[in-house]
Amino acid sequence: MNDDAQLIDEALAGRSVAFGRLVTKYQDRLYNALVHVVGSADEAHDVVQDAFVQAFLKLDSFHRSAAFYTWLYRIAFNLAVSRFRKTRPTISVERARELSGEEIAARDPPPTERLERQERATQVQAALAALDENHRAVLVLREIDGCCYESMAEILDLPIGTVRSRLHRARMELRELLKDVVQEER
């Protein structure tokens, strides 16, 4: 029996400490993936918290045919999409920079290079935020979270072919949104 299965069994038996260990194990990974999906550190934190609450409440419905993280990510992703549909945020480049929380480290390259990197990162974040939620989801899952196509299909409840085509279209759309950034670097 794997570690997650054992922790799930213990949590279902009423030992909340076991679920706490699952939270500790997956909260950073889930947060890091969701911050790119929702585009806001605060919003990602809220979604992660809500996802763990939902997972705890629905733990008895976890079928174990998928990995726990996959199931948890799907809950979180669905919550993020629901929030996004309700709020439809618009985000400026300056706000994206504020929300990224990037601090300048003491041993960074020269200031001009740091500023150029920050500007590129901000442009990429703004481009990601401009993508359709389905395209952003597949890009984040594949490029940031490193999921395989099978896991992505399971998380998004889509056929693998649809995942592949959405990923292709998402990459093309992102490339189009960032063509000016790419032109500047040449």
Question: Is 16 within a domain?
Answer: yes
91 confidence band (pLDDT: 50, 70, 90): low
Beta carbons of 158 and 150 less than 8 angstroms apart: no
CATH of the domain at 26: 1.10.1740.10
Question: Is 152 within a domain?
Answer: no
Tokens of 82: 């629901």
Q: List the domain range (segments joined by +) for residue 13.
A: 1-89
Residue 104 has pLDDT above 50, yes or no: no
Question: Is 38 within a domain?
Answer: yes
Quick check: pTM over 0.75? no
Integer Cα distance of 3 and 14 in angstroms: 17
* 105-109, 118-122, 178-182: range with lowest mean pLDDT: 105-109
117 confidence band (pLDDT: 50, 70, 90): confident
118 confidence band (pLDDT: 50, 70, 90): confident
Provide the number of structural domains found in the chain. Answer: 1
Question: Is 55 within a domain?
Answer: yes
What was the pLDDT predicted at 128? 82
Question: Is 154 within a domain?
Answer: no
